[in-house]
């Protein structure tokens, strides 16, 4: 039985999510703007593990009081399907996007049961002029670069408790209203700690189904949710649905993903069906593929 909260219908279904490996780094720079720039570069082209190797995004901004070197910073989260792939993505992204960004420094953003190489992998760029510094259990590298030094912690933590693929499907009567609902949900999700919404602006419009009519294509458009195919396929849409957007959430813990979905639903409901979405659903594969199930009825505001 679908539920209705403040005029927004919420399907009695669940989002199905998967266990992932995740890490976090704190990026600082002389100004908040440049810290953000480095973080945006590092988390660019990181929407889906299928094509990008990892999913990444900005968790939150940090003030000088919250960062190791007293400068403004950003905490970035990276998610991948294996420790090896996560290490590879972290290393190449840190090397190409953080090392290169003016005034940047990079520190561990998570204490994990295991560690990933950060400065330990980048230090060779110093060509023998790199300097190791230790204090207590902390270890970092100073790599001379053209604007001074790139300071980078030797390792960062790895968590195996991360969850990827928490999601909300937002259905609306117009493209504009659906987009407004998605924007409101993403804004609410951004305030939840330890989660990222890795797609552009947190939103994905090309939801996929498993399989395709073409050989060798593992996923294809989710035709049941395409409004232009409503009459041609077995649709999941209402007669008045004009647009569907999805928000995918990755979190360091299952609780964080649930909190993010709860915040997203609350924001959509608050906006209401006239200005926003008429219906909220979620994507799953029948519950057999992913170990984490988030039932929408348990996440109502």
Partner 1 sequence: MKPLTLTLRERPDQRLDLSPLVPHGLAGKTAREIEQIELQTTRHRIKVGDVFRLHAGDVEQIRIQNACDRLDYVGQEMKNGELVVDGDLGIQAGRLMAGGRLTVLGNAGPWAASGMKAGVLEIRGAAGDRLGGALAGEVAGMRGGIIIVRGSVGERAGDRMRRGTIIIEGKAGPYAGSRMIAGTVIVRDAAGPLAGFLLKRGTIVLGDNRSVLSPTFIDCGEHELVAMRWLAAMIEPYSKGAAVLLRRPFVRFAGDMAVLGKGEILVGNRN
The CA-atom distances, in angstroms, between 259 and each of 1, 25, 189, 197, 298 are: 23, 22, 8, 13, 11
By CB under 8 A, tell whether 63 contacts partner 1: no
Instruction: Tell me the window of 5-13, 69-77, 203-211, 226-234 that interacts with partner 1 (CB under 8 A).
Output: 69-77
Task: For residue 67, give the nearest of 23, 35, 33 by alpha carbon.
Answer: 35
Cβ closer to partner 1: 128 or 239?
128
Phi and psi at 89, nearest 5°, equal -65, -45
Per-residue binding string, partner 1, 145-174, x by CB under 8 A, is ---xx-x-----------------------
Strand 155-172 and strand 148-153: the pairing is unpaired
By CB under 8 A, tell whether 75 contacts partner 1: no
Cα-Cα-Cα-Cα torsion 181, 186, 188, 191, nearest 10 degrees, comes to -170
Using CB under 8 A, which of 1, 51, 127, 134 touches partner 1? 134
Using CB under 8 A, which of 135, 234, 274, 288 touches partner 1? 135
Per this entry, what is the length of the chain?
A: 301
By CB under 8 A, tell whether 124 contacts partner 1: no
Strand 148-153 and strand 105-108: the pairing is parallel
Per-residue binding string, partner 1, 103-122, x by CB under 8 A, is x-x-----------------
Binding residues for partner 1 (CB under 8 A): 28, 68-71, 103, 105, 128-129, 131-136, 138, 140, 142, 148-149, 151
């Amino acid at each position: 039985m679908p539920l209705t909260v403040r005029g927004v219908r919420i399907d009695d279904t669940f989002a199905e999510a998967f266990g992932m490996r995740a890490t976090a780094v704190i990026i600082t720079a002389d100004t908040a703007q440049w810290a953000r720039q480095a973080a945006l570069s590092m988390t660019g082209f990181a929407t889906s593990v299928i094509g990008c190797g990892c999913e990444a995004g900005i968790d939150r901004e940090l003030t000088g009081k919250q960062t190791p070197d007293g400068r403004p910073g950003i905490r970035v989260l990276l998610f991948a399907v294996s420790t090896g792939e996560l290490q590879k993505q972290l290393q190449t992204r840190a090397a190409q996007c953080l090392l290169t960004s003016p005034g940047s420094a990079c520190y561990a953003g998570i204490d994990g049961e295991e560690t990933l190489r950060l400065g330990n992998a980048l230090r060779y760029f110093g060509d023998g002029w790199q300097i190791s510094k230790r204090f207590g259990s902390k270890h970092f590298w100073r790599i001379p670069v053209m604007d001074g030094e790139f300071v980078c912690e030797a390792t960062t933590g790895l968590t195996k408790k991360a969850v990827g693929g928490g999601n909300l499907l937002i259905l609306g009567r117009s493209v504009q209203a659906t987009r407004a609902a998605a924007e409101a949900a993403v804004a609410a999700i951004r305030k939840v700690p330890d989660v990222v919404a890795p797609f552009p602006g947190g939103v994905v419009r090309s939801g996929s189904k498993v399989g395709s009519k073409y050989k060798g294509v593992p996923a294809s458009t989710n035709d049941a949710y395409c409004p232009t195919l409503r009459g041609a396929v077995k649709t999941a849409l209402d007669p008045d649905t004009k647009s569907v957007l999805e928000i995918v959430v990755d979190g360091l813990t299952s609780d964080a993903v649930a909190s993010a979905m709860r915040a997203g639903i609350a924001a959509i409901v608050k906006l209401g069906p006239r200005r926003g979405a008429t219906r909220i659903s979620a994507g799953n594969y029948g519950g057999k593929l992913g170990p984490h199930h988030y039932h929408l009825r348990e996440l109502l505001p």
